[in-house]
Amino acid sequence: MIYIAAQPIAAQTIRQIHITGNGRTRAHIIERELLFSTGSQLDSALVAETERNLRLLPFLGNAKIESKRVGEQVDIYIQVNDLYSRALAPILSGTIDELSYGLVGLDYNLAGRGQSLRLAVENRAISGRRGELDYQQQRLYDTRLNLTTHAALAAEGHDISLALNRPFATLDSHHSYGIGLYESSAITRLYSARRLTARYRSSSQSTRLWYSRSYGRKSKIRPTIEMRYLARDYSALAPYGYAPNERRRLQMSLGLIAWKPRYSTTRFVHDLGPVEDLQTGSWIALRGGLSAPQIHSDQFFSFYSLQLSPRWMLRSNTYVFSTFYASTQQRHSALSNAFLSARTRIYTRVGSVHSLALQLRWDLLHKAEDGSQLLLGLNNGLRAYPSHRFDGQRRLVLNAEFRPTFIRSFWYTLAGAFFLDAASAWTPGETSPRLRYGPGLGLRLGLPRIYGTPVWRLDMAYAAAEGMGRLSIGMGQYF
């Protein structure tokens, strides 16, 4: 237990703060997240925001703050739950004929200081062996700065990244800024009717700088200025001859986000029992920028993007999350690299521990300069079919799941899924849309006392048109 005392100074001020439940996490790691202190006036909005911030920490399973009046002052009681943040776990994903597997060791709370370290070795079904190291330190030297590093070495390439940023840690934060560095090498594959049609290597380096300012509280307005440099080279791999053109681009852009902060605290909506702070406030994000030879770019073009994300809480147990996204580039009067996406997800809690989940998504690609495709299969909305089974420039996906919870205990939660997937991918003028569908059922195993409350997924889906089933394994809910 931590005990912090201050002399009484005024009515409705905080006299003492008590923190319990932090078995491994050091005291100051929790204290630095508090938006109030002894001697300050009690503010219910800051108390609620502090609870959300504490629950966002991957090594805390829950946080609850209560107050007790003592004369003309109040004492604050903070109850947290330390998770088992060190683990050695298998990695399994994909299907029996395309199975990715490996081993991951991690600690999301190194020495109780809130730092995270992850080491993983994996054999991926298509790209082969891969090793990864990730390290993150929030609140670098007890400041608001976050440090994130990533390094991976694989049979088909590598990637290294480093980011140092100051996020909007609270709703009252006024500034956010950062720098990111990235370097990678990888092999890209393009498909047609599950047949490999192109294979090329790409090497890229990029640097990103940004600054954002936040205004308002009940409604947030956040303008952002960003500079990004990108250098990318491509080379075709035999026996294929296609590779995109190289790029050298310095891009300047301005963005604007308008957002209504609103949260709903609930359970059994996305996950299997932990407290969820659902973002139910809507927002809109706009961005526009320029790439030109005058600022050391290989081509002249402007680029634009729009994201509109309305959110609704229809009843106390029904949530609707919609997102519309559009981006494009303009060279002279012609548009290219256009991407449109519309997505709606509906979650309804049935009783206290069951849920019904629906997803409808539509995507469009137009004149992608790197030959990008919209793929369809196990990893893209259709569990009854293997990955990369269908491809095109248009994609329509419908998923429906009923998620019953069978057993709840202190250590695990056993749940199920009865689902129906229906989807189509096609290219106008070349192929026609044809809806494929597959019903299925699955098991979900949630581990509420482990880092990030992971959910193991095991699904069996049946491709009705082909008359065959497919078993898939993965982590996390499918959507």
Stretch 69-86: mean pLDDT = 90
Give the model's pLDDT for residue 30.
93
For the segment 240-246, the average pLDDT, to the nearest whole number, is 91
What mean pLDDT is predicted for residues 338-356?
96
Lowest-confidence pick of 53-67, 130-144, 214-228, 249-263: 53-67
Residue 388's pLDDT is 83
Instruction: Answer yes or no: is pLDDT of 4 > 50.
Output: no
**Calpha distance 263→240 (Å, rounded):** 51
> Which pLDDT belongs to residue 58?
84
Element (H, E) at 166: strand 157-166
Q: Which of 59-63, 116-120, 381-385, 427-431 has the lowest mean pLDDT?
A: 59-63
Average pLDDT over residues 69-88: 89
- Across the range 288-307, mean pLDDT stands at 88
Express each pLDDT in 49-66 by its tens digit.
999 999 988 888 889 999
For 355-402, the pLDDT digits (tens) are: 999 999 999 999 887 778 899 999 899 999 988 889 999 999 999 999
* pLDDT value of residue 410: 87
Digit-coded pLDDT (tens) for 443-461: 999 988 887 778 999 999 9
The rounded distance, in Å, linking the Cα atoms of 257 and 222 is: 5
pLDDT of residue 11: 52
As a whole number, mean pLDDT of residues 208-230 equals: 95
Q: Is the pLDDT of residue 284 over 60?
A: yes
Instruction: Band the pLDDT of 302: cuts 50, 70, 90.
Output: very high
C-beta of residue 392 within 8 angstroms of C-beta of residue 362: no
Q: In the CATH hierarchy, which fold is given to the domain comprising 2-82? A: Ubiquitin-like (UB roll) (3.10.20)
Residue 349 has pLDDT above 90, yes or no: yes
pLDDT in tens, 22-50: 988 998 899 999 999 999 999 988 999 99
Rounded percentage of the chain residues whose pLDDT exceeds 90: 65
Mean pLDDT score across all residues of the chain: 91
Report the share of the chain in percent with pLDDT over 70.
98
Is the whole model's pTM more than 0.75, yes or no? yes
Residue 333: band (very low, low, confident or very high) from pLDDT cuts 50, 70, 90: confident
Write the CA distances from 218 to 49, 256, 258, 437, integer angstroms.
Answer: 13, 17, 11, 44
Whole-number pLDDT of residue 324: 98
Question: Averaged over 17-26, what is the pLDDT?
Answer: 91
* Domain spans of the chain, in order of start: 2-82, 167-475
C-alpha–C-alpha distance, residues 232 and 185, integer Å: 10
Across 214-246, where does the E strand assignment appear?
220-236
Q: Select 167-475's CATH number: 2.40.160, 1.10.3470, 3.30.200, 2.60.40.
A: 2.40.160
What's the angle, vertex CA 474, arms to CA 469 and CA 478, rounded to 5?
A: 80
Determine contact, residues 52/61, Cβ cutoff 8 Å.
Answer: no
Spatial neighbors of 60 by CB under 8 A, at least 6 apart, are: 25, 54, 80, 81, 82, 83
| Per-residue pLDDT at 448 | 85
